[in-house]
Structure 1
């Protein structure tokens, strides 16, 4: 039997929690280990139950999902948080990512999308559509036009490595640059003339060495640390 994914549900609506539990419990390998009716209870249960994935509502009484996510991610690097909301708003998206969430899904999504999202976060992946990834890059790069990085791969490798990048190999630095441009693993593999399995290894090494939760936070990290910059 494979590894069981432990899931915590945090939502102030009992019917929503019950619906999510029904959907997720039907998937082999998923175990809903707890439910919380507000963010404060979610923080407490996250510490007590040690779930792998937390499905977190944004707007709740006592403590909202953003504050709860920030507290959970600060205290524990294990659980991945999937933010769920009825509102497709950029401010919720960016605040959730800044708080440490690894995925963002609308409550209007199909049940299969929720299951796929939990699987993705349990694997250590981030869950954002290409369109949302582009919005993230534009936001954190401060881009007004093209979101391509102003530094080429060759220029990045020719320049003395930044102190924050000194532990990365040349290939890992190339991979980080391409991640920051929003490239998928398949696209990175084509550009670097390597297999996708090799790219996955490079991505994992980048995240591990830089202490980053997932690939979407690698995008944010790269722009915030000046590794790449938007074209002016």
Structure 2
């Protein structure tokens, strides 16, 4: 029997929490193991239950979603964070990605898109809402036309990981090649995606080839 994907939800609105919990529990492959009203509760529930995925709102009391994400990632529980927020939260979204979130979806997404996003995170993928991804691509294009290329914003390690993606290596293989954990590889990839304005490995590989990323950092 396939293991259920365990999920912790974090949102400060009762209606949203109940709606999300009901949606997830209506599936055969997902289960809610904890529901948090603020970031601190989310961190505690993740430590207790060690779910596969934490679905994280960003604007919450006590501890916001960005700091909660950072605490979960630093806690090395094996839990991946999927941000679920509003389209206007650009600054917080960027901060959450920097803190280690592996993807983000918008609260007005179709229910099935959210469920698929949770499943994608559990598989080791990085789902991004198409509208938000388009914004990242537009922003990256503008930054390339107005100043230094986006490649210059990549850290040497992010550039190295991207080059290995182009070589066709999977996350596990990249981790072995570089002597780091798969979780660290995912964190580098997610950060790199955000910096260069792409949403997945295919777009990242095309970007690297287009920008001739030969040397560390660009």
TM-score range, shorter chain: 0.7 to 0.9
**TM-score of the aligned structures, taking structure 1 as reference length:** 0.68
Name the Cα RMSD after superposition: 3.4
Contact 1:137 1:219 in 2 (8 A): no
**Alignment correspondent of 2:170:** 202
Contact 2:171 2:185 in 1 (8 A): no
The 3 A distance-change label for structure 1 pair 29 and 221 is same
Q: Give the match's secondary structure for 1:213.
A: helix
Structure 2: where are the runs of 5+ without partners?
197-207, 209-214
The 3 A distance-change label for structure 1 pair 47 and 88 is same
For residue 117 of structure 1, report the CA deviation from its aligned partner: 0.5
**Alignment correspondent of 2:71:** 71
The 3 A distance-change label for structure 1 pair 142 and 54 is same
Alignment of 1:1-232 (within 5 A): 1-129=1-129, 132-133=132-133, 143-145=143-145, 176-177=162-163, 199=168, 201-207=169-175, 209=178, 210=180, 211-214=184-187, 215-219=189-193, 227-229=216-218
Structure 1: where are the runs of 5+ without partners?
151-161, 166-172, 180-187, 193-198
For residue 178 of structure 1, report the CA deviation from its aligned partner: 7.6
What is the distance in 1 between the residues matched to 2:170 and 2:73?
24
What is the distance in 2 between the residues matched to 1:177 and 1:131?
26
Higher radius of gyration, 1 or 2: 1
Deviations along 1:121-153, whole A, 9 cap, x unmatched? Answer: 000111125664576578799943296758xxx
Q: Give the match's secondary structure for 1:212.
A: helix
For residue 207 of structure 1, report the CA deviation from its aligned partner: 4.6
The 3 A distance-change label for structure 1 pair 149 and 40 is closer
What is the distance in 2 between the residues matched to 1:115 and 1:131?
18
For residue 72 of structure 1, report the CA deviation from its aligned partner: 0.8
The 3 A distance-change label for structure 1 pair 178 and 142 is farther
The 3 A distance-change label for structure 1 pair 148 and 61 is closer
What is the distance in 1 between the residues matched to 2:126 and 2:35?
23
Stretches of 4+ aligned residues off by more than 4 angstroms: 129-142, 146-150, 218-223
